Amino acid sequence: MTMGKPLKSVTIVGGGTAGWLTAALLQAFGRKEQQGLKPLEITLIESPDIPTVGVGEATVPGMVRTLQNAGISERAFFRRCNASFKLGVSFDGWNVDKAGKPVSYINPFSKAPNINGVELAYYFNRFGAGGRDYLSSYAATVDMVKARKGPRAAGAKEYDKSMGFAYHLDAGKFAALLTEHCTAKGVKHIRENVLEVEKDDRGNIAALQLQESGRHQVELVIDCTGFRGMIINQALGEPFVSYSKYLANDRAMAVQVPHPDPAKIEPVTRSVALGAGWSWRVPLYNRIGTGYVFSSAHRTDEEAREEFLASLRATIGKIPDDAEPRVIPMRVGRNRNAWVKNCVAIGLSGGFIEPLESTAIYMIDMGVRWLLSYFPDSDFPDPLRDRYNRLVDNLYNEVRDFICLHYRLGNRTDTQYWIDARTELEVPDTLGENLELWRYNLVSHYDLPFTTLFDAGTYNAVLMGKRVYETGYARGDIGSGFLLDERLWGEIQAHLRKLNTERVKRAADHVALLNELRGEAAPQTAAPRAAAPAFQAAQATVPLPGFGPAQVPLGQGKRKLDPVDKENASLL
């Protein structure tokens, strides 16, 4: 039996964040010269005429590892991409409390510690925290956001991880940085239109007919052509599986506006509930990226536009007269298979789930890592393709279920949209079973068989943040099987309050920290770190790509604004 030959090349079709991040990770981890084999040749073909959607202005903590793996300096990243820090997502007005008042909470990048082997959430649910919310019962995040602090002290080293964080970034500038980085390391960049896609007698993609260069032969082709799926859908005919029965939002509008006060930048993404969806707000160094994700069944584009602009004026004040939102139709769902024949779809061409939890770049990252783990030879063995597709399927289901959770456990009744989101949309079977279980018990890692991103602690942060157990969701005595010591809880709360107060004091002002990282302020010496506490500080909730969930034991001044780039209004 003959074995397949090692592949010599990979061709990526499509640029933007998806294409260039794929190239960067393939270049970083792909085959170098070894055992007589030449390095893997990477070619990226990008149309000069087709604009990118620009996904991913907000990220998750795995982005830190992504940049490090790609060999990109954090300081260069902040300077080139107008990046800022993100300590979590603030959900504003998605639920109401017992008095009918809107609730706000932060879904954080910190994991609650256990208390003698028991999830802290059980203690909070039983005893409360003296008027503080769930997150504030163990982490400094809420106070850090209010004080507009960054996640580290002044003078800290690049990629300091003393506190869980992610980034906000300018998607267009990030793609440009990746382009420069990749081409300098040998990635071949072709700026031409693909006119035709040629298949061989096995149905594999054999070549691409380029407008000027002619026939470009391919071995493995990665489709990063966005929603149109030029190769995976159009050439190979792979069906698209819509998620419209689970998620109502199918359109978005995006715009960029200046900061009301450039010296005050929040280190948090905001998701503000509106009448037929939600509005994101991503504060970059030089501007705010914002938009409205909504359901066309509940708002026309014009109605959504008027509602969105009114909301903007109410929250940030006067907006520029030329701030005209760009409407983006969303293809919500995923391909039946991400890998078909010799083509792998990554990014929007593979699928898209509304950007509520900033998962777009993370899913690109994981798609590339898994491809490298199950990299084929010239035979393209079925077992490799099947396992890859199973992993991608699991990831989409994981993200879909977590997004659906936010809507199903909403309790607003002021518009038909929110009523329909709770009562008319289907619930995936995997989530539906758990929603019944969680009426009697908090979320356990045993309930979630596949977790690369949203673990039990993240689910509990949402349940507690929405205050579902205070508003009638429970059907049993939550945590009745545990011995919960109220005196011990009080001692731990006092200790964590002291610990977190010190953490806020040590952290640098967000804007000052950004100026330092950009090289626009003199670097400072980091303040001495306190001795390790008896209780470990909260760690990142979202695991790094390729790693399982983390386990946590317990025992200023004015500056010139860059011009707003109206051609790169990005989805969150």
Q: Point out the residues that are catalytic.
A: 86
CA pseudo-torsion sign 345, 348, 353, 355: positive
Where would I find the beta strands (DSSP E) of 336-468?
Answer: 339-340, 343-345, 351-352
Query: What is residue 104's three-state secondary structure?
Result: strand
Look at residues 41, 401, 338, 71 and name the one whose alpha carbon lies nearest to residue 216: 41
Look at residues 19, 538, 53 and name the one whose alpha carbon lies nearest to residue 291: 53
Look at residues 263, 163, 171 and name the one whose alpha carbon lies nearest to residue 510: 263
Contact 17, 164 (CB under 8 A): no
CA pseudo-torsion sign 361, 364, 369, 372: negative
Crossing angle of the two packed helices 416-423 and 382-408, in degrees rounded to 10: 130
Measured CA to CA, the distance from residue 350 to residue 345 in angstroms comes to 5
Within 13 Å of residue 440, how many CA atoms lie on the same side as its CB?
Answer: 6
Measured CA to CA, the distance from residue 458 to residue 337 in angstroms comes to 28
Pairing of β 194-199 and β 205-210 = antiparallel
Residue 156 identity (one-letter amino acid): A
Look at residues 171, 204, 170, 183 and name the one whose alpha carbon lies nearest to residue 46: 183
Look at residues 12, 2, 569 and name the one whose alpha carbon lies nearest to residue 292: 569
